Structure 1
């Protein structure tokens, strides 16, 4: 949704008295930095920002990363995203390419900027075939894409190094609005009085679009002074008087800085000119979250419960091709990035409501769609996170640490575990202690309220159901025992497959999709958003064993032969198994009782 429309909708809502906020992130320089940023953005999603924006790095690899970040935040994280776009080093051909990528990803918001001069380039100059001013870029976007994009522009409440007259800057701002801009985001500042007086003059000039103040948290005294000097902005005496005496204590600087910035923000909100705050995160989260907490803007128990509940049990994508997506296989529950990548080539009508797909789908073919590596950590970071396991006990201990929250990810699980598994957590730990390595799971749920803050999803006044599900590694030596215990006359159904693609199953119809999560809501059809079925499980099996192989290769490259041997044993001598207890009513713990017989 366009930012101006989101802000208008909020103003017209029952919660209109509560200000809104957004976050800015910049493009990291390394692949591990990108991974860390995705994790941070995912955590900050929980604060319910109205949108995020991604800065633009003109030219070269980083500009490609800008569009990749925008696409991922829209498609995987479900975050409304605004893409910066500058005139610096950008001929029309590159601008067209960036806009097309934003359009295809579902992004509907562009912050159109002239941009700064490249480092060591002296004064700013337009490139051949490019634009000289932000207003030209605004006019071009509006002419080419009509009303698809909301277009934001920058403003400078305390002046600009290249223009001494404040009145002239407001006149330039009016020109950008007249060319089709929809909202304003300002440069950072620390003097609320200067900003409020500037807002008054902007409104008097006939500019009536939303004014969004850019808020820079204070994290250290040196960075605070450096940024203020670089932007040539005024620092109030109160700020200096409180921060200078503690300038060598970063913790105190951040705490006092949070108090000062929060007070400044409250003054802005009280002025009547501002209803939305835009925080420059510098790709960090703590300082921004502290400010929002101090202002009382973070969601809590007093907020509308349903506003904090997901529409589906997995993060809904904002990509236009995925708007009709209502079903996902449970196997990618904790690997949403690779799942979205593997289904990115599907057309809009290939996200079905019942039968999941077919083997001709690209989702079940090219693993290269997931990027150059299936483990979303660098080789060095992998060693730091998961060390060098040399026994199955070492692997099980890693999983147990993940279950306890000591690890935020595993090679096959990109996202942290949530509290949904709490009812079966002791059983999962026991299984791993007995060397049954668990990969994925969900507990039985029989009619929980859809508004439940842990497991709730979907419309209000509904009820949620889940079948108990477990995915784990089984030694081939115990396969016959497992098959004998499960049998054919129980409520349990399973698929088991090895790396050579040999499949064992007791499903009555291998082609059928087994819904393992569903919801019942007033006046609606039953929703069945999470399933188990054979074709997608075989696709996941391919990915899972590739993950083990990549993990093994990292050990080989780092001279860890015992770890290489262990991973090869997992690949050669273990099956990947999923099992569903279709009796979601019984209080019996059937799956775990069965697996205990394998100890």
Structure 2
């Protein structure tokens, strides 16, 4: 949704001020992955109206990461996202690529900027490129018409390093608005009086689009001075009076700085010129949340529950237009949503048969490169810190036990920390791992739990949710035949088992396309069946899972840790990947675990 439309709808619902976050592109792959987690966590706890992602002057690798971050935030995390786009040293072809990427991901908001020259370089207009932000605005508007809300920068205290006077800058702002801009986000400031006077002049100039103030938290004294100096902004005497005496105490600086910024924000909100705050997070979590908490802008539990009511499925829906109608996902990617959306991004082009899952006839099916160069979302060094150097299958099983006991936050095949859904079967899972049956994914049985349940609930509050017990695990190949013999004629426990080479065994009935393992019943709606098990997507997951093990092995080889590399070879060669569904969701018997304890 466009930012202006979203803010207008929110104002119609409540007079409470709203807010948004800005993030910049980290310099490392690991930093990018950690930022995804932070963005997701900050959204869950505070419900910003939107986020935006900065651009990097001059294009290059980091600029391409900008488009990747926007696409992931919009498509995977389901966050309303605004993409910065500069025309500094940028060929039109690169601008076209960025705009097309934003369009394809469902992003409808662009912050159009001239940008700053690269470090130690002069600003130069690329041949055929754009000289000013207004030219970029015109270009976007001409090419995409009304698809994008286009934001532009405002400078209450002038442009850094520019002698242009205030009236000329407002005139330039008016030109950008006349070219098609929809809203203004301002440079950071700390002097509320200067900002309010500037807003008055902007309105007197006939500019009536929303003004969104850029708010910079104060975290350390040195960073506070450096940013103020870099942006060439005025620091009120009261700020220096309170901060200078405590400059060597970072914690006290943050506390006092937060109070000063909160007072400033309240003054500009009281002026009536703004109703929304845009916080420059600097990719940090605590400082912006402290500001919002002290201003009583964070949502209460009722508001959070209200947001969850809008989540009609057990996952947050993608905002990518190609995925908005998706209501079913295979359970195999439950704990790897980034990988799932990346893997199936091209399946959407082949129209998601029945809106459900990937088509094995698609030329894109099974393309692991869709997930990026590394399917383990950790750097090589970080993975050694997290998961050490297991030498035996027992060591890997113990690593899973540590995860189940919440001593480890993730696993090579599980991006997400464990939640409390698993508590009901936790002891059973631990016992299986102690038998060298390495558990990968699971869910407990539910029979008509209220959809408002804080652990298992999803969808509208006035319904009921159901689940079949499900377990996925690695089983020693030596035990695979015994498992098949025990289940070959079973109609209640259905399974798939496959090795790295693709040898599959199953007791699923011929022609059985999908087995729903999660569903919900809600008044006035057809049954929703959001989570399934089926053969085609299981085989795709098998390819990814064994690829993860091979990447884990490669990391040990690169670090010359031979024993651990040999162990991974053993797991790849001598284990099979299995999933079992207990189709009796009423029985309280742990049939799956009872069976496996006899294998």
* TM, length-normalised to structure 1: 0.95
For 1:126, the equivalent position in structure 2 comes to: 125
Counterparts of 2:214 and 2:133, CA distance in 1: 18
Q: Is the 8 A contact 2:327 2:355 kept in 1?
A: no
Match of 1:43 among 41, 44, 51: 41
**1:114 equivalenced with 2:110 (yes/no):** no
User: What are the equivalent positions in structure 2 for 1:412-431 lying under 5 Å apart?
Assistant: 412-431=413-432
User: What are the equivalent positions in structure 2 for 1:348-427 lying under 5 Å apart?
Assistant: 350-353=351-354, 356-362=357-363, 364-427=365-428
> How much does 1:586 deviate?
2.1
Counterparts of 1:169 and 1:537, CA distance in 2: 59
For 2:95, the equivalent position in structure 1 comes to: 95
Bigger Cα displacement from structure 2, 304-313 vs 336-345: 304-313
> How much does 1:294 deviate?
2.3
SS of residue paired to 1:525: coil
For 2:143, the equivalent position in structure 1 comes to: 144
Counterparts of 1:372 and 1:138, CA distance in 2: 35
For 1:435, the equivalent position in structure 2 comes to: 436
Bigger Cα displacement from structure 2, 23-32 vs 531-540: 23-32
> What CA RMSD, in Å, does the superposition of the two structures yield over aligned residues?
2.0
For residues 326-379 of structure 1, give each alpha carbon's deviation from its aligned partner in whole angstroms, at most 9, with x where no partner exists: 111010111122212221112456224476443213453221221122212221
> How much does 1:542 deviate?
1.2
Bigger Cα displacement from structure 2, 558-567 vs 263-272: 263-272
Q: Is the 8 A contact 2:336 2:413 kept in 1?
A: yes
For residues 264-312 of structure 1, give each alpha carbon's deviation from its aligned partner in whole angstroms, at most 9, with x where no partner exists: 2233323322221111111222212222222223333232623234221
In structure 2, the CA distance between the partners of 1:363 and 1:516, relative to structure 1 (3 Å rule), is farther
Q: Is the 8 A contact 2:326 2:356 kept in 1?
A: no
User: What are the equivalent positions in structure 2 for 1:268-417 lying under 5 Å apart?
Assistant: 268-303=268-303, 305-309=305-309, 310-347=311-348, 350-353=351-354, 356-362=357-363, 364-417=365-418
Bigger Cα displacement from structure 2, 135-144 vs 484-493: 484-493
For 1:203, the equivalent position in structure 2 comes to: 203
For 1:553, the equivalent position in structure 2 comes to: 554
Counterparts of 2:397 and 2:158, CA distance in 1: 59
Bigger Cα displacement from structure 2, 86-95 vs 303-312: 303-312
User: What are the equivalent positions in structure 2 for 1:397-546 lying under 5 Å apart?
Assistant: 397-486=398-487, 488-489=489-490, 491-509=492-510, 511-546=512-547
> How much does 1:449 deviate?
2.7
In structure 2, the CA distance between the partners of 1:563 and 1:132, relative to structure 1 (3 Å rule), is same
For 2:69, the equivalent position in structure 1 comes to: 69
Q: Is the 8 A contact 2:329 2:356 kept in 1?
A: no
Counterparts of 2:252 and 2:11, CA distance in 1: 36
For 2:153, the equivalent position in structure 1 comes to: 154
SS of residue paired to 1:318: coil
SS of residue paired to 2:322: helix
SS of residue paired to 2:185: strand
**1:245 equivalenced with 2:238 (yes/no):** no
SS of residue paired to 2:497: strand
Bigger Cα displacement from structure 2, 51-60 vs 528-537: 51-60
* TM, length-normalised to structure 2: 0.95
> How much does 1:534 deviate?
0.8
In structure 2, the CA distance between the partners of 1:163 and 1:448, relative to structure 1 (3 Å rule), is farther
**1:3 equivalenced with 2:9 (yes/no):** no
In structure 2, the CA distance between the partners of 1:304 and 1:341, relative to structure 1 (3 Å rule), is closer
**1:17 equivalenced with 2:15 (yes/no):** yes
Q: Is the 8 A contact 2:322 2:348 kept in 1?
A: yes
> How much does 1:460 deviate?
4.2
> How much does 1:522 deviate?
1.8
In structure 2, the CA distance between the partners of 1:304 and 1:357, relative to structure 1 (3 Å rule), is closer
In structure 2, the CA distance between the partners of 1:559 and 1:326, relative to structure 1 (3 Å rule), is same
Q: Is the 8 A contact 1:445 1:467 kept in 2?
A: yes
> How much does 1:319 deviate?
1.3
For residues 183-217 of structure 1, give each alpha carbon's deviation from its aligned partner in whole angstroms, at most 9, with x where no partner exists: 11011111222222222222222221111111111
Q: Is the 8 A contact 1:190 1:264 kept in 2?
A: yes
Q: Is the 8 A contact 1:496 1:503 kept in 2?
A: yes
> How much does 1:508 deviate?
1.9
In structure 2, the CA distance between the partners of 1:225 and 1:77, relative to structure 1 (3 Å rule), is same
Q: Is the 8 A contact 1:355 1:513 kept in 2?
A: no
Counterparts of 1:135 and 1:31, CA distance in 2: 33
In structure 2, the CA distance between the partners of 1:218 and 1:192, relative to structure 1 (3 Å rule), is same
For residues 203-234 of structure 1, give each alpha carbon's deviation from its aligned partner in whole angstroms, at most 9, with x where no partner exists: 22222111111111111110011001111112
Counterparts of 1:461 and 1:587, CA distance in 2: 25
Bigger Cα displacement from structure 2, 214-223 vs 96-105: 96-105
SS of residue paired to 1:488: coil
Q: Is the 8 A contact 1:306 1:451 kept in 2?
A: no
Gaps spanning 5+ residues in structure 1: where? none
Q: Is the 8 A contact 1:364 1:536 kept in 2?
A: no
For residues 82-105 of structure 1, give each alpha carbon's deviation from its aligned partner in whole angstroms, at most 9, with x where no partner exists: 111112011322222221221112
Counterparts of 2:342 and 2:304, CA distance in 1: 33
> How much does 1:111 deviate?
0.2
